[in-house]
Amino acid sequence: MSLETQNRKDDNNENIKEDLENSESKLDFEELPEDPRSSFFHPEKEDKKMKGADPPDTSRVFPKLSQDIVRKRAKKDDKKDFLTRLVKPSQNRLTNAMKSLVAKKIVEREEYEIVFSLSRTVKMFIYHTLFYFIGIFATLLILIIEGYQFTKNLGFIGMHLRFIIMQYSTQVMFIGFIVLVAVLPMKSISQFESYFFIMLMVLRSFIVAVRYGFISNSRYKLYKSPVKLFWITSDFLLLGWLKMSPKIIHEQIDAAKYRLQIQKREWKFTFITPLATDIHQRLMINAKDSKDAFEKIDKEFASKMITADIFPKSGAKTTSLVAHAFAKMPEENKDYALRDTDEENVEITQSYEAEAILREMCLLESHAHSTPIYSLIIIIARIAIQIISQFYHNGKSFSVYWYEYLLTSWLIVDIVIIYGSNLLFIIAGIIDFKRKLFFMKILQSMISIQKSKDFQYSTYFPTLNILNKENLKSWLKLRSASLDLGKKFTYRIFLYCSIYLSVYLTYLIFLLMIVFRIIKADLAIAAYLAGTFDIIVILTILFQMLRMGAQVNDYYDIHKGELITIKKLLFDARDNPEIYVNLGSSADHSDQLLGKMIRTIPRSSTSTSKYIDDCIMFIEIAIQELEYEKATKPLKLMGLTCSNELLTSVYTGIASISFALIQYIYSRY
């Protein structure tokens, strides 16, 4: 019995040992009688605990073995837990940063796709219109429906103190003016001013609503979360597109690249002549990795544009700092032959990223052009018309009742704030079209090898190496990107212009029907003067945009003409390339540039003539692409293609209507 019992105990011992070893990975920290982490940080404490601990259960066969396994596993897991707690905060920060970056990229990519939401526009139009009519009650209604954070990001509460004060002051003056004109007797203020005031507010609400209609669903959802003020204001047309900042330039270039599917590694240029030193340094900045450096250069550029002596000396290489003074440049300095030609024979191997060139074009344009001063002149003239019409209506006295002075001051303030801001949204269209025209002139200088008529653009960016097919591919992409730049803002401008034209044409028809006595109405002199002035201003701005848009569309043909000129020269050079390679300094500038391009042909090519034939074929493809884009992607305004023929038709129609109106008034009175 004793031998059998001893064998049974030995078998049990082996089974217990095997079970403990196999279950090592299944041991749980929380099942231990003491905190194992204390043994890792304070091993001496564990020794004391073990010394004073209860003796192990003698009923177990291998108490020492089981205790060693438990302690070994506890220390192993304790070290793992310690490392986890050390790494976990960094991992959390990294995870949160990655989530934030991914969310930002998702919002940006969705913003790049221009989609218009009519339902959101209508909802925002109702919100802002209600605010102007019922004020704080509209804010409470929006607060109940949308929540606090959304209402705050809309600008109705708690965003920026000065903005909130101006917002509610404008609303109080608006509703106070409407109510007081309706209930109090007036001598110098007619009911027309109330209608005019309402029209301004409705147009203002529409302008704000359109902005929300063009934002993406992801960005719109973020309005219900805490966001920074700059994130909201970056979508404002007047702050973001009227005067481009370096940050806005980066965002819009990224958006254009995304929409046109442009790969950065394939978007580079090689010029045939060296660039000015300051331009070269700015183009070599990788703004993606050094935005602060780019913004610093932008500030230095702006200060030099204001303070530096920018007039070029005879024979000196001009730089980008003379861009805004070309109109004042002496005629003798505008000769293209006066450019520094000492570097004509320098071998050009430096390539520049096209993105950096587009960034430089935007930087130059943002400092070379400013907001037109005539916007201020228009506002002052509009106020003067309002005051003069009231004097004319009352005779010698300006007013009879004291409250009319108060209401007139309110009207003047709202003309400055509301009428002025509404006007800037239309003037932004002129700036946008002028910017595109500026880009087209620079693009022309980059492919022109003949004597340039616009000295400034040829100095800023000289001719590309046209015999490098990659240069021509990149040029076509740069052309498309420059027209696509700021597409989100451009669409909004087109919609603003359309609604403005519709409103003021309706008002013009209404006035004409009163003049021709189709409708019987007795309007004050202010109605005729202010209405006529506004119609003339709006139509003048729109016609100016049409004219600039027609010039931009004409550059399709101008660029094709430059490519055709190059193709003609290449036909001549194909048979006798040695003549162009060995030209002297007395040859034409275009022939010298062509000879330099021919010298850049790789020696590995089988035949120079065959290489030139391939370039001619690719130039023909580029010409066909320009023809296709002109037919499918012309610059339009209010759905009409901007062209000289359209301008001629519009001017003819206006002249006919004006002549008929003058003839009727002359015969009638």
Average the pLDDT over 456-462 and give the result.
70
Handedness of CA 520, 523, 527, 528 (dihedral sign): positive
What six digits make up the tokens of 269? Answer: 């240029």
Cα 69 to Cα 397: distance, rounded to the nearest angstrom: 106
Residue with tokens 């003074």: 325
**Residue 525 burial by Cβ neighbours in a 10 Å radius (0-12, 13-18, 19+):** middle
Considering only residues 392 and 438, tell me which one the structure prediction assigns the higher pLDDT: 438
Q: How confident is the model at residue 328 (pLDDT cuts 50, 70, 90)?
A: very low
What totals of helices (H) and strands (E) does the chain contain, helices first?
27, 4
pLDDT at 577: 73
Q: How confident is the model at residue 191 (pLDDT cuts 50, 70, 90)?
A: confident
Q: Are 464 and 270 in contact (CB under 8 A)?
A: yes
Cα 167 to Cα 139: distance, rounded to the nearest angstrom: 12
Q: Are 500 and 219 in contact (CB under 8 A)?
A: no
Amino acid symbol at 437 = L
pLDDT at 228: 74
Res. 642: pLDDT tops 60: yes
Tens digits of per-residue pLDDT, 575-609?
777 777 666 666 676 777 777 887 777 766 567 78
pLDDT at 120: 92
What six digits make up the tokens of 213? Answer: 């209609």
pLDDT at 128: 92
Detail the DSSP E strand segments found in 306-370.
351-353
Residue with tokens 């929380």: 30
What six digits make up the tokens of 517? Answer: 């006595």
Cα-to-chain-centroid distance, residue 55: 77
Residue with tokens 């010029």: 271
DSSP letter (8 states) at residue 275: P
Among 444, 306, 431, 314, which Cα is nearest to 369's?
431
Among 554, 571, 237, 526, which Cα is nearest to 385's?
526
At 28, give phi and psi (nearest 5°). -110, 140
Q: How confident is the model at residue 55 (pLDDT cuts 50, 70, 90)?
A: very low
Among 435, 441, 425, 108, which Cα is nearest to 256's?
108
Res. 113: pLDDT tops 90: no
Count of Cβ atoms closer than 10 Å to residue 107 Cβ: 19
Among 56-65, 376-385, 514-523, where is mean pLDDT lowest? 56-65
Q: Are 258 and 109 in contact (CB under 8 A)?
A: yes
Average the pLDDT over 192-211 and give the result.
87
Q: Are 580 and 598 in contact (CB under 8 A)?
A: yes
Cα 392 to Cα 644: distance, rounded to the nearest angstrom: 42
Maximum average pLDDT range among 100-104, 223-227, 248-252, 306-310:
248-252
Cα 216 to Cα 258: distance, rounded to the nearest angstrom: 15
Cα 200 to Cα 542: distance, rounded to the nearest angstrom: 18
Q: How confident is the model at residue 622 (pLDDT cuts 50, 70, 90)?
A: very high
Cα-to-chain-centroid distance, residue 69: 65
Maximum average pLDDT range among 119-123, 308-312, 663-667:
119-123
Tens digits of per-residue pLDDT, 69-97?
555 555 555 544 544 444 444 455 555 55
Half-sphere exposure of 63 (CA within 13 A, CB side): 7
What six digits make up the tokens of 546? Answer: 């049409």
Half-sphere exposure of 155 (CA within 13 A, CB side): 19
Tens digits of per-residue pLDDT, 371-426?
667 778 888 888 888 777 777 766 555 556 777 778 888 888 888 888 888 888 88
pLDDT at 23: 43
pLDDT at 129: 92
Maximum average pLDDT range among 40-44, 58-62, 89-93, 643-647:
643-647
Cα 300 to Cα 41: distance, rounded to the nearest angstrom: 57
Res. 553: pLDDT tops 90: yes
Cα 618 to Cα 620: distance, rounded to the nearest angstrom: 5
Q: How confident is the model at residue 49 (pLDDT cuts 50, 70, 90)?
A: very low
Among 4, 254, 194, 214, which Cα is nearest to 115's?
214
Considering only residues 303 and 413, tell me which one the structure prediction assigns the higher pLDDT: 413
Which residues contact residue 360 at a Cβ distance below 8 angstroms, ignoring those fewer than 6 apart? 279, 282, 283, 320
Q: How confident is the model at residue 57 (pLDDT cuts 50, 70, 90)?
A: very low
